Chains A and B, each alone.
Chain A
Amino acid sequence: MDSADTAGAAPPPVRAEITLTVNGTGHRLGVDTRTSLLDVLREELGLTGSKKGCDHGQCGACTVLLDGRRVNACLALAVAHDGADVVTVEGLGGGDGGLSPVQEAFLECDAFQCGYCTPGQLCSATAVLGEAARGWPSAATPDVADEPRLDDAEIRERMSGNLCRCGAYVNIVAAVRGAAVRGAAVREAAGTEPGILP
């Protein structure tokens, strides 16, 4: 390559070493600093449940739980989350291959059609139940100083970061409502406080 080719050329990639715990398993990874958490999950770890829809944080198909909170994995730089704990759709049901209450509710309510947005919907819904149980208000809460009631308007607002091009919204709302009722009953029976996960 002569000097004309290198003049103004992009600088070389920068690599960094990070650790991630994903669905309970620890990983040590070398990543390009530009790599998103989503690309690490899909391309490096083979966890293709999390989907790349828009890659701009607008569709929610890449939603995962990062240190217990739902985020768009496409907007998270992997290098900025060294040491993080990540749960993807593959890890929602625990290690025994079973389904979580939210996943059961999506099946029961037929809350999907093509399924592409579903992993993000499931991770988001899981976090929504935790946020509501801890009393977080939303834009649909009439008075933000009050404890919210997770009615359909609240569920629609809280799930608005997850688009479904098939339009399965009606059944998604029903599934989240069902999972919320079930989660509250389980917590009451166990006498536990709401955590980040329901």
Chain B
Amino acid sequence: MRPFAYERAGTAEEALAKHDDDALYLGGGTNLVDLMRLGVATPARLVDVAHLPCDRIERGADGGLVIGAAVRNSDLAADPAARRSHPLLVEAVLTGASGQIRNQATVGGNLLQRTRCSYFQDITKPCNKREPGSGCPAREGEHHNHAIFGHSAACVATHPSDMAVALAALDASVRVRGRGGGERAVPLGELYRRPGEDPSRDTALEPGDLITAVEVPPLGLPSRYRKVRERASFAFALVSVAVALDVEGGAAGGGTVRDCRIALGGVAHLPWRAHRAEAVLRGAPATAESFLRAAEAELEAAEPLRDNRYKVPLATNLIARTLTELTER
């Protein structure tokens, strides 16, 4: 590991002041420390933001949540208000990593974790995300758990966060402080980038930008997060889905779908909001047939790679099944 200086920031202002182009912010470190050990991340300085005072979950009068970026994943998952009002978010957090890692990991760090593509994590291999212009061996190589949507010739990696998938379905946004001063809100749908020609950038954030909180609008709908993986627990998603469903007369009544939110994980460089499926479903009867038709409409646009075609039926069935279960509760 490259030697680095370490500084602990007590406030967001202090963190911004200590950050420069050779520095990285340190949250829980569960991904960053590993990447440094692997030689993938080589900061000259770590600015520790895990002790900033943005470590609380506030519940708004409207039923929304403001989750501080330094809140530990396990504290978010244990929060009584979040468990009642936003179960899909809590379910997503709980399917991520292990109990030990959730105790260390922060909400802000979770959003900014890097892909687990094995070529990205192996400095002896080319990777356009790690070393722009060096190539992407995953496209023709080991890619059984890579993207089926929105990838490019330069990168077929997926975003690994479960929480971000739920936040995408919830139309959440992040509060960001920049070096120029001032705070801005970035919707989840604009936070993450498609890889395009420059996969080295995962997000639309600028160097030095600091996430201080996540704003989650009220939900008030039946919701669910489901994740399919290669073992029962402690593994990244092959495909996951976050859904919320608003049906006239209640989800169990078989009425008309007024609104729905569907986001997929494990399928793209970013949490994949299934806009096509949502459009098909709005105004349709809340039946298993409609759900399957909506899922198929989304997956028609998929561009699977040689060894991940299985994700197309898997995602189709997962969307349809999870929506159906919501109407059966």
A residues near B, CB below 8 A? 10-14, 16, 32-34, 36, 55-57, 60, 63, 66, 69-72, 75-77, 79-80, 82, 124, 127-128, 131, 134-139, 141, 143-145, 156-158, 160-162
Q: Are A14 and B34 in contact (CB under 8 A)?
A: no
Identify 15 new A-B residue pairs, CB closer than 8 A, beyond the known A34-B36, A137-B78: A10-B3, A13-B3, A34-B3, A63-B100, A72-B30, A72-B100, A72-B104, A76-B33, A80-B6, A131-B74, A131-B78, A144-B91, A160-B234, A161-B98, A162-B98
Name the A residues within 8 Å of B98 (CB-CB): 57, 60, 160-162
Query: A77 near B29 (CB under 8 angstroms)?
Result: yes
Looking at the complex, which one of B30, B48, B77 makes contact with A57 (CB distance below 8 Å)? B30
Set B30, B90, B97, B234: member contacting A144, Cβ < 8 A = B90
Give complex CA distance A135, B90 in Å: 14
A57-B34, A80-B6, A160-B98 known; A137+B233 contact, CB < 8 A: no
Interface string of B1-39 (1 = CB under 8 A from A): 111111010000000000000000010111001101100
Check A75/B95 contact, CB under 8 A, given A33-B4, A137-B90: no
Task: Please tell me if the beta carbons of B4 and A75 are within 8 angstroms of each other in the complex.
Answer: no
Choose one: A11, A33, A71; the contact of B103 (CB below 8 Å).
A71
Closest CB-CB distance, A86 to chain B, in whole Å? 13
Q: Which residue among A72, A76, A139 has the maximum number of chain B CB atoms within 10 Å of its CB?
A: A139
Residue among B44, B48, B94 making CB contact with A137, cutoff 8 Å: B94
Write out the residue numbers on chain B whose beta carbons fall within 8 Å of the beta carbon of A128: 99
**Contact among A16, A56, A75, A131 for B99, CB-based, below 8 A:** A131
Complex Cα gap A144–B84 (Å): 8
Interface residue total, chain B, C-beta cutoff 8 A: 39
B101 within 8 A of A: yes
Distance (whole angstroms) from the CB of B37 to the closest CB of chain A: 7
State whether A161 touches B99 (Cβ < 8 A): yes
Contacts of A79 in B (CB 8 A): 6
- Find chain B residues with CB under 8 A from A55 CB: 37
Per-position contact with A for B89-124: 1 when CB-CB < 8 Å, else 0? 011001101111101100000000000000000000
A136 with B100: CB separation less than 8 A: no
| Distance, CA A141 to CA B50, complexed state (A) | 28
Give the contacting residue for B74; candidates A11, A14, A75, A136; CB below 8 A: A136
> Given A55-B37, A139-B94: A158 and B99 within 8 A (CB)?
yes
User: Given A75-B30, A127-B99, A139 and B233 touching (CB < 8 A)?
Assistant: yes
- Asked whether any CB of chain A lies closer than 8 Å to the CB of B87, the reply is yes
- The answer for the CA separation of A60 and B50 in the assembled complex, in Å, is 22
Q: Let me know if A136 and B78 touch, CB within 8 A.
A: yes
Closest approach, in angstroms, between the C-beta of A146 and any C-beta of chain B? 9
CB distance from A160 to the nearest CB of B (A): 4
Cβ contact within 8 Å between A72 and B6: no
13 A–B contacts, CB within 8 A, in A order: A10-B3, A11-B44, A12-B3, A34-B4, A70-B100, A71-B100, A75-B28, A75-B104, A80-B26, A139-B94, A139-B95, A160-B232, A161-B99
By beta carbon, the residue of chain B nearest A32 is B3
Question: Nearest B residue to A63 by beta-carbon distance?
Answer: B100
Q: Is there an interface contact between B103 and A14, defined as CB atoms closer than 8 Å?
A: no
B residues 66-95 in Cβ contact with A at 8 Å: 74, 77-78, 83-84, 87, 90-91, 94-95
Task: Return chain A residues, CB-CB under 8 Å to B78.
Answer: 131, 134-137
Report yes or no: B26 in contact with A124, Cβ–Cβ below 8 A: no
Are B37 and A56 touching (Cβ within 8 A)? yes
Given contacts A69-B103, A161-B99, contact A156 B6 (CB under 8 A): no
**Who on chain B is nearest to A56 by CB?**
B34
- Are A77 and B33 neighbours in the complex by a CB distance under 8 Å? yes
B151-169 interface with A by 8 A CB criterion: none
Q: How far is the CA of A119 from the CA of B78 in the complex (A)?
A: 26
In the bound assembly, the distance between CA atoms of A75 and B232 in angstroms comes to: 23
Residues of A within 8 A of B99 (CB): 70, 124, 127-128, 131, 138, 158, 160-161
A161 touches B101 (CB 8 A): yes
Assess whether B100 is in contact with A14, with CB atoms less than 8 Å apart: no
In the complex, what residues of A have CB within 8 A of residue B2's CB?
A: 10-11
Complex-state Cα separation, A12 to B44, whole angstroms:
11
| Chain A residues, CB < 8 A from B44 | 11
